[in-house]
Amino acid sequence: MLLWINGPFGGGKTQTAHEIRRRLPGSVICDPEHIGFGLRRTLPPELRGDFQDLASWRQGVVEVLDLALGRHDGVVIAPMTVTDSGHFAETVGRLREQGHDIRHFTLLAERETVLRRLRERRLGRIVRAVAGKSTVPRGESWAVARLDHCLERLREPEFAEHLWTDHSTVPKTADRIAVLAGLTLTPNREGALRTRLRQAGVGLRHIRLD
């Protein structure tokens, strides 16, 4: 089974994916974004646009996830924002055509909720400054610029199942996905402080420095 977790940047995809992996033995995360970053880095700076527009990214995602689903004995989790109908058909759609069990979920939240979550990520600016990089993360500016478009597109029926997360914690969102997908997660026995520290660690590991 593949759990594809969609949603706007700042919507909680990565944190939810890691929460499910933590509590679902045998599951793994295969992040399609890494394929895109690799392709993007091979191009001259002036040609680095949206990697989802590259046919090689869409084909690569299908090949990698097909391999993982065919040979890994466990649930595969893919946190990735996709709002273009054509790109969705060429990734999620093709994997379904190949006979894989794909459960697609879109995490949604009100605009102000997503903006607040993005503001909470500003620790990344400190890390980038120490590394000698620009203090405005590209991912954050990209996310804000495309937020309205993402929220509008992802509300469409083709991107169901929709899960609203404004008043839900990451563990509770993971629980809802598991129930809808027919999976059983181990009980969440973490305290609030440990959960926040672990999630901060996940966030730090996903800060982009280029």
**Does domain 2-205 correspond to CATH entry 3.40.50.300?**
yes
Q: Which string of DSSP letters, residue by residue, matches 12-70? A: SHHHHHHHHHHHSTT-EE--HHHHHHHHHHTS-GGG---GGG-HHHHHHHHHHHHHHHH
In which band, very low, low, confident or very high, does the pLDDT at 28 lie, cut at 50, 70 and 90? very high
Give strand ranges (E) for 48-145. Answer: 76-79, 102-108
Report d(CA 191, CA 124) in Å as an integer.
25
In which band, very low, low, confident or very high, does the pLDDT at 9 lie, cut at 50, 70 and 90? confident
* pTM of the entire predicted model: 0.86
pLDDT of residue 206: 64
Is residue 133 predicted with pLDDT exceeding 60?
no
Tell me the average pLDDT across 84-108.
98
Cβ atoms of 68 and 76 closer than 8 Å: yes
Report d(CA 10, CA 14) in Å as an integer.
9
- The model's pLDDT over 112-129, given as tens digits with 9 standing for 90+, comes to 999 988 887 654 444 444
What is the average pLDDT value for the chain, to the nearest integer?
A: 88
- The model's pLDDT over 161-207, given as tens digits with 9 standing for 90+, comes to 999 999 999 999 999 999 999 999 999 988 888 877 877 777 666 66
Closest CA to 92 of 101, 202, 206: 101
pLDDT of residue 136: 42
pLDDT of residue 57: 98
The domain spans of the chain are 2-205
Report d(CA 30, CA 194) in Å as an integer.
25
**Can you tell me which residue has the tokens 């129930």?**
179
Is residue 210 predicted with pLDDT exceeding 50?
yes
Query: Which has the minimum average pLDDT: 18-27, 57-66, 122-131, 180-189?
Result: 122-131
